[in-house]
Amino acid sequence: MALAASGLLLLNACVKDETKVEFLGGTVPALSSTAGDTIPLPVTDTSSVAVIFKWTNPNYQFSNGISSMNVTYYLQVDTLGANFGSPKMQTVAINSSLEKVFTVAGFNALVGNGLQLSFGDPHHIQVRIQSFIQPFTSASPVTGTLYSDTLNYVVTPFAPPPAVAPPASGTLFIVGSAVPVGAWSNPITPSTQVPIQQFTQISPTEFTITASIIGGGEYKFIAVNGSWGDQWSVAVNDDPSAINGGPFVFNGKNTLAPSASGTYVIDVNFQTGLFSLTKQ
């Protein structure tokens, strides 16, 4: 009888050890800010605070109590009506803190260079908070994704400093093995190729060209025909993620062209620090 009783106790202990902890969810975070209907962005005072966003802790709970895991927050900013689904939506990652302070310069860059809203014009934007927890490791799936209510504002961005300094020459050329004639020749040869490889300047910070490109070749942008002094390209040599465009830097590595040869419209935007290739 004693042996049977001890076995029963052991069985009960095993059952108790196998009790699973269940995730019970959390409370939707409440988002607020120091701004009214408009977030002022005065170009004369870029270091001042433009807006402070604050939100409540979702207090995620498990069946054994309140979660002790860190909560990650994403402050999401998009144009009104896009419902946080536009490709230019801006996401600011925030670890654990329950507020985010933006200076005028910081928020202006977010909506100007980030959302790429036209400068000097009023725009309607929306802001929300996304919260979640990520158990165990960064490879584990996120848990408990919650979204706050949306706050709407009007902003009028001004032109911030370009993300990448544009060429002082006001000119831009493409050179490289992706160019059918002349390749890496600098100065460009033959001379008849110069106008063919020169971009058209459409603003102080944006250049565009329609050019024939050899698939799988490499290229760079240079400011002055005959000089390697000022050049722009991708940060990682032959970066496969940038074959159709992306961020570029001053004095970078060779940029890899798309695999398909053909005619492409290439747009280089120094204001945003992004370039793009669109096949015709």
Q: So what's the pLDDT on residue 195?
A: 97
Q: Which sign, positive or negative, has the C-alpha torsion 161, 167, 172, 175?
A: negative
Average the pLDDT over 238-250 and give the result: 97
The mean per-residue pLDDT over the stretch 273-279 comes to 96
DSSP structure class, residue 191: G
**Phi and psi, residue 203, nearest 5°:** -160, 170
Residues 76-114 have pLDDT tens digits of 999 999 999 999 999 999 988 999 999 999 999 999 989
Which residue stretches of 25-99 are H helix? none
Query: Is residue 5 within a helix (H) or strand (E), and if so which, with residue range?
Result: helix 2-17
Give the mean model confidence (pLDDT) for residues 230-249: 97
**Quick one: average pLDDT of 172-182?**
97
Spatial CA neighbour of 157 closest among 103, 115, 112, 113:
112
Q: How confident is the model at residue 138 (pLDDT cuts 50, 70, 90)?
A: low
Q: For residue 65, what pLDDT is reported?
A: 57
pLDDT at residue 173 greater than cutoff 50 = yes
Overall pTM surpassing 0.75 (yes/no): no
Residue 274: pLDDT over 80:
yes
Q: What is the pLDDT of residue 120?
A: 94
Mean pLDDT of 22-30: 87
77 and 35 Cβ atoms separated by less than 8 Å:
no
> Which has the minimum average pLDDT: 96-110, 137-151, 175-189?
137-151
Q: Give the model's pLDDT for residue 1.
A: 44
Q: Which of these ranges, 7-21, 43-57, 240-254, has the smallest mean pLDDT?
A: 7-21
Q: What's the pLDDT band for 144 if we cut at 50, 70, 90?
A: confident
* Coil/strand/helix, residue 222: strand
| Domains (range + CATH), the chain | 22-155 (2.60.40.10), 173-279 (2.60.40.3620)
Contact 155, 38 (CB under 8 A): yes
Peptide linkage before 167 cis (omega within 30 of 0): no
Q: Is the pLDDT of residue 140 over 80?
A: no
Tokens of 110: 């977010």
pLDDT-based confidence at 137, cuts 50/70/90?
A: low
pLDDT in tens, 51-65: 999 999 999 988 765
Q: Of the given ranges (59-63, 126-130, 138-142, 165-169), which has the lowest mean pLDDT?
A: 138-142
Mean pLDDT computed over every residue of the chain = 90
Task: Report the pLDDT value the prediction gives residue 18, as an integer from 0 to 100.
Answer: 56
Tokens of 47: 């270091």
